[in-house]
Amino acid sequence: MGIEEKLPSGFALTTVEQMAGWARKNSVWPATFGLACCAIELMSTGGPTHDLARFGMERASASPRQADLMIVAGRLSQKMAPVLRQIYDQMAEPKWVISMGVCASTGGMFNNYAIVQGVDHVVPVDIYLPGCPPRPEMLIDAIVKLHDKIQNMKFGAHREKQVQELELQALRTLPLIDQGMQK
């Protein structure tokens, strides 16, 4: 990316992070990936009653190159999975993914050979949003939670440090079955 990656860690970088985070979170352009019934709620969220434009998201991008946020709305079939990945790859960095609805998040009630059991098998997901389908308020809630994540994104030296810390933390995490034993 740009010059902000080369800044030394410290006050200047923190300021740049905050400013860039503020600018980014207020201009997230979604690449809609409506696959099923969740897309109807997604359209409803863009409508006048809930009005996504309040968050600087009025332009639902039909072209992935101009999009920052992919909202995967609906069950992802095995056949659609490569397409989803390609669209994701075509999006420019920085990019985020909301997995909208239970089918996109884990496969939901469709536990069968045709449906990918969660889009995180294909793309990295930032926010999981349950609901079948989630009401527009739930989607806006997920977007607000994502805004928080975008605002606090780290750059350059800070980012490297954060990645290392997360890696260490992931290495130390016990398997789920052992976590249950601790209680």
Residue with the two structure tokens 């696959």: 35
Please report whether residue 149 would count as binding other proteins according to CB under 8 A.
yes
Please report whether residue 172 would count as binding other proteins according to CB under 8 A.
no
Total residues interacting with other proteins, rule: CB under 8 A: 33
Report the sign of the C-alpha dihedral through residues 57, 63, 66, 69, in that order: positive
> Closer CB to other proteins, residue 1 or residue 112?
112
**What CA–CA distance (Å, rounded) separates 154 from 53?**
26
Print the binding letters for residues 40-59 with other proteins: x by CB under 8 A, - otherwise: --------xxxx--x-----
Radius of gyration of the chain measured on its C-alpha atoms: 18
**Between the CA of residue 109 and those of 24, 117, 119, what are the distances in Å?**
35, 10, 15
Print the binding letters for residues 86-125 with other proteins: x by CB under 8 A, - otherwise: ----------------x--xxxxx-x------x-x-----
**What CA–CA distance (Å, rounded) separates 112 from 53?**
37
- Residue ranges that bind other proteins, judged by CB under 8 A: 48-51, 54, 102, 105-109, 111, 118, 120, 126-132, 134-138, 140-142, 144-145, 149, 176
